Homo-oligomer: A and B are copies of this chain.
Amino acid sequence: MTLELSESGAVFVLLSILLIPLAIAGLALIHTGLGRSRNAGHMMMSCLCVVGVAAGTYFICGFAWQGVSGGTAHIARLGGRDWNWLAAQPAFFRGVEMNGSPASLTVWMQMLSVVLAAFIPLGSAAERWRLGPLCASAALLAGVTYPVFAHWVWGGGWLAQLGVSYGLGHGFVDAGGSATIQTVGGLTALAMAWIMGPRRGKYTSEGMPTAIPGHHAVFVLFGCLMAWAGWLGLNSAGAALFTGMAPRRAVLVALNTTLAAGSAALMTVLVTRVRFGKPDASLAANGWVAGLAASSAGCAFVPPAAAALIGLIAGLLVPFAIETLELRLSIDDPGGAISVHAIGGIWGILALGLFERFPAPVLNTADDPARLTSLSGAGQGLAQVIGVATLIGFVLPLTYGLNWLLNRWLPHRVSQEGERQGLDMHELGAGAYPDFMTHTDEFFQR
């Protein structure tokens, strides 16, 4: 089925997309607040540069490889079946008429989604990532990793066609980007944390982690509220563009997104209260964003109670995931980006399989209405699992490999001296808060 948008439908999608910069701004604040004051200006600068780099790269070549459902694509013939593996569109958005057509709206939304995905690794590699390499890494994400996987899901690729080709439900479904944005970004965050290693002073010589608190709880929590506003637009626009949801049903998307975020934060508050005696503000923020990340895949296809449940489980997973990474796997993720976006995102992908209640044919499969009556939930669940397996089995090695190669040519990590001094002074030559007196020497001894 090709997506048809009425004029008011196009207006709705266009304006929903205009809210996504709020999610971008919110994530920037969260990352900044979760780091120390000596890296605050550098983190915001990194975010600003990544907007330019990721959007620019996506413009140059990213979209050409992602494409749109039904567009020109490279197709391989494997085992008697077509395997749609890469789009073949012209570069620089040529060939897309900018007139509010679904293709043009996809271009515009994707340019922002790719920025959002490219922001996520900034959280896990924070406080030690140099500006040049992080821009190069964002270009790799926006130019290669993201478009390839997004083609498979949103561009009519083989994951989207699992339903039509192999009878697995509606194929892999991801309305708002739990997979394409959150998990792709989160797995890249994991790759970066591996490549970079932990921050100086994070682990004692015995391997015990020490707490390095973020410097600004207000930025972090205010960023959560901004991210929520942006996510409402993100999920609505994604559901309309990539699953063919009627714009008027966005009211369900909005309710679900809100319930998922709120219940996730409350659950994290409860878990940290029970385990540590006091609720933890940074973890609550992580829980909130994990709820948002988990809400995206199924936002248009689950009833509100299921959305609340998805949030509760996301909020339960996050503190344990963070603890496991930090204690067991010795992975230093200052922003919690891996747990929030990869674990939250994967949970959201799978939750769609558990709770989906499709109200109407979705875009991927609607050209085959006869088949829809015989759909089983198990098939949909399997499609979602295949998507997750692809993320872990293909996207993670790909993004690790690309960034590992980049590291050989352009080392990601700042010098020891620079890390101690803080990236603000070292890389930008100026602190973010020159008028304020700070406890800068606290972590220097280690």
Contacts and interface: CB of A to CB of B under 8 A. Distances in A.
A28 B373 CA distance: 48
A203 interface: no
Interface string A410-444: 00000000000000100111111111111110100
Interface in A204-245: 213-222, 224-226, 228-229, 232-233, 236
A29 B228 CA distance: 15
Contacts of A298: none
A387 interface: no
A36 interface: yes
Contacts of A216: 218, 432-433, 435
A262 B52 contact: yes
Contact of A436 (B9, B250, B437): B437
A100 B249 contact: yes
Contacts of A219: 218
Interface of A is mostly: helix
A14 to B, nearest CB: 6
Interface residues of A, number: 113
A439 B428 contact: no
A285 interface: yes
A10 interface: yes
Interface in A308-322: 308
Contact of A263 (B12, B56, B265, B305): B56
A436 B436 contact: yes
Contact of A49 (B269, B428, B438): B269
B111 A258 contact: yes
A405 to B, nearest CB: 23
Contacts of A40: 217-218
A1 interface: no
Contact of A41 (B52, B217, B429, B431): B217
B217 A44 contact: yes
A28 B438 contact: no
A252 interface: yes
A340 to B, nearest CB: 15
B265 A48 contact: yes
Nearest to A267: B52
Interface in A79-122: 92-93, 98-101, 104-105, 107-108, 111-112
A24 interface: yes
B25 A222 contact: yes
B225 A262 contact: no
Interface stretch (A178-186, A276-284, A361-369, A391-399): A276-284
B225 A24 contact: yes
B41 A255 contact: no
Contacts of A277: 429
Interface of A: 6-12, 14-19, 21-22, 24-25, 28-29, 32, 36-38, 40-41, 44-45, 47-49, 51-53, 55-56, 59, 92-93, 98-101, 104-105, 107-108, 111-112, 131, 213-222, 224-226, 228-229, 232-233, 236, 246-252, 254-255, 258-259, 261-263, 265-266, 269, 276-282, 284-285, 288, 304-305, 308, 424, 427-440, 442
8 contacts: A8-B11, A10-B248, A25-B222, A45-B221, A45-B284, A48-B285, A108-B251, A280-B428
**What are the 7 tightest A-B residue pairs by CB atom distance, in nearest-first order?**
A100-B248, A52-B262, A44-B221, A41-B217, A98-B252, A25-B225, A37-B435
Given A44-B220, A99-B246, A99-B249, 16 more contacts: A9-B11, A14-B250, A40-B217, A47-B225, A48-B221, A48-B284, A49-B284, A52-B263, A52-B265, A59-B255, A93-B255, A218-B433, A280-B430, A435-B438, A435-B439, A437-B439
